[in-house]
Amino acid sequence: MNTGEDVQGLRKIIDFTRLLSIFILAVHFYLVCYRAFEGWGLTAELTDRIVSNMARTGLFDGLWGAKSAALLLLVVSLVGVKGKKDEKVRVKDALVYVCVGTALYFASTLSFFCPGPKSFMAMAYMGLTLIGYMLMLTGGGLLSRIIKDKLHTDVFNEENETFPQEERLLENEYSINLPAKYRLGKKWRNSWINIVNPFRGLLVAGTPGAGKSYFVIRHIIQQHIAKGYTMFLYDFKYDDLSKIAYNALLKYYKNYKIVPKFFCINFDELLHRCNPLDPQSMEDITDATEASRTIMMGLNRDWIKKQGDFFVESPINFLTACIWYLRKYEDGRFCTLPHVIELMQSDYEPLFAVLKTCEEIKVLINPFISAYQNNAMAQLEGQIASAKIGLARLSSPQLYYVLSGNDFTLDVNNPLEPKIVCVGNNPQKLQVYGAVLSLYISRMIKLVNRKGQLKSSLIFDEFPTIYFNNMDSLIATARSNKVATCLAVQDFAQLKKDYGGEQADVITGIVG
């Protein structure tokens, strides 16, 4: 690669060579036209002594030796010249300059055969020689530029910007190894992108069609299943990635001590059922709070940036109270999201009467009961309607069927019951399905990020289409529990739009 010092050094050599050529030509003029210089009073004893010593070298004998040496040095200096940039320059023009200049340069000796005083002959000789010299210099510069442009095919300087990359396969029991190719000089070479510790978190960013799924996510799925990982896969365009995971499991199932079961959650194709509010996984009221916040933020993405506001926290508290009441009622027999939605549609008076029977949620529902008793119906409707209207969008037979069943639990890395779970979204129903899938992911992560579990891989394609409040803390803390996280986004600006600038910056900062 050329550096600034290399270019400056080459330029100095070129300038010195050209000055040496001009100096030889000047000494030649002084010797050949000495009588004219003497007549003009341009001679000196010291100059004569120096020039006479130089003449003894034999270079300045006759008319052709010195001129040929000066021309040779001029040609050498033009080899390294870039030449003047000119889109209109043509080879024909450059050759005309060179040919005419060469003719004048050597034909100038005819001046000595012209009649007239010696001073006139000397002036004609030197003038024609210098004109020829300048024409050759101009034409040579243009010709050098043309030749360099013809030889220089790398217009974008790609060859000089290449550098050696990792060509070794650095593999271990956890690693992700992506095969790649890179260019070094003019050759294409094979290389490896080695992610030897995937538990530190992986963020894949690329515009639509950049190859995130084909080049990165596909290899992660196949290699992690081949190495015995359990897996939770968010498949935005179901079933593109789910098929890869299923086929990989069929191929590598012998690598597991206990073969994991394969489950799919998809609201368009009713394959498996799973209750994200499984009472066995909800140990205290904070689990209900986290679940209610996740689903409300998923339904109302603009609330993410307004957390803490009165009319944001009120519906979250109301939903928390309903979830925890059903969790405590008959040991959670009806603790499902469909039952929560239907419970919330009840009239205020019987609903508040029922909710008051649970001591743990009295603090949460007291503001609502107080507003109802004081006949502040406008305030009460404003607090509760946000929750009712948002959750009403989830009222459909398909969603109710999937959310109310319990074919499996979300502890995918359970050593006794390992699982590979694929959850599918539908881009045409993103706002509705995304909120429910966010709830699945939130509950799953709480169960996965525990000690004593199997190594697991969490892959989220198009991560901004779902909401998870504590992804930054998951990446930061799940490393010790052997949880490898991969987030795929189209652009960091998209992540900031959906998660807010502060949380997006934290996520990108943690993964590096």
323-364 residue pLDDT tens: 999 999 888 899 999 999 999 888 888 988 898 888 889 888
**Which pLDDT belongs to residue 15?**
82
**Which of 368, 392, 416 delimits the end of a domain?**
392
> Over 70: is that where the pLDDT of 35 sits?
yes
Whether 260 contacts 453, CB under 8 Å: no
**Which pLDDT belongs to residue 86?**
58
Please give the helix or strand (H or E) that residue 25 lies within, else none. helix 4-32
> What share of the chain in percent tops pLDDT 70?
95
Digit-coded pLDDT (tens) for 127-177: 888 898 898 888 888 887 777 766 666 666 677 778 888 999 999 999 999
**Which pLDDT belongs to residue 7?**
66
35 plus 135 within the same structural domain: yes
DSSP 404: H
- Report if residue 300 sits inside a domain: yes
How many residues belong to the chain?
512
38 plus 120 within the same structural domain: yes
Please give the residue range of the domain that contains residue 291. 281-392
**Which of 392, 416, 445 delimits the end of a domain?**
392
Strand order in the sheet with 202-205: 202-205, 483-489, 456-460, 230-235, 419-424, 261-265
257 plus 315 within the same structural domain: no
Name the amino acid, one letter, at 432: V
Nearest one of 508, 467, 478, 475 to 234, comparing CA atoms: 467
Structure tokens at 327: 């969790």
Say how many domains are in the chain: 3
Q: What Rg do the C-alpha atoms of the chain give, in angstroms?
A: 41
> Over 90: is that where the pLDDT of 263 sits?
yes
22 plus 134 within the same structural domain: yes
- Report if residue 43 sits inside a domain: yes
Nearest one of 359, 362, 363, 315 to 340, comparing CA atoms: 315
Structure tokens at 442: 């939130």
Whether 236 contacts 462, CB under 8 Å: yes
pTM recorded for the entire structure: 0.70
- Report if residue 190 sits inside a domain: no
**Which pLDDT belongs to residue 156?**
67
CA dist list (Å): 15 to 21, 88, 308, 361: 10, 26, 72, 89
254 plus 314 within the same structural domain: no
433 plus 352 within the same structural domain: no
- Report if residue 176 sits inside a domain: no
- Report if residue 180 sits inside a domain: no
Distance, in Å, from the CA atom of 497 to the CA atom of 501, rounded to the nearest integer, reads 7
- Report if residue 157 sits inside a domain: no
362 plus 433 within the same structural domain: no
16 plus 93 within the same structural domain: yes
Distance, in Å, from the CA atom of 265 to the CA atom of 272, rounded to the nearest integer, reads 6
CATH of the domain at 470: 3.40.50.300
- Report if residue 398 sits inside a domain: no
DSSP 113: G
10 plus 110 within the same structural domain: yes
- Report if residue 189 sits inside a domain: no
**Which pLDDT belongs to residue 274?**
93
Nearest one of 485, 458, 470 to 198, comparing CA atoms: 485
12 plus 120 within the same structural domain: yes
227 plus 303 within the same structural domain: no
**Which of 392, 417, 434 delimits the end of a domain?**
392
Name the amino acid, one letter, at 101: G
Distance, in Å, from the CA atom of 190 to the CA atom of 312, rounded to the nearest integer, reads 53
121 plus 33 within the same structural domain: yes
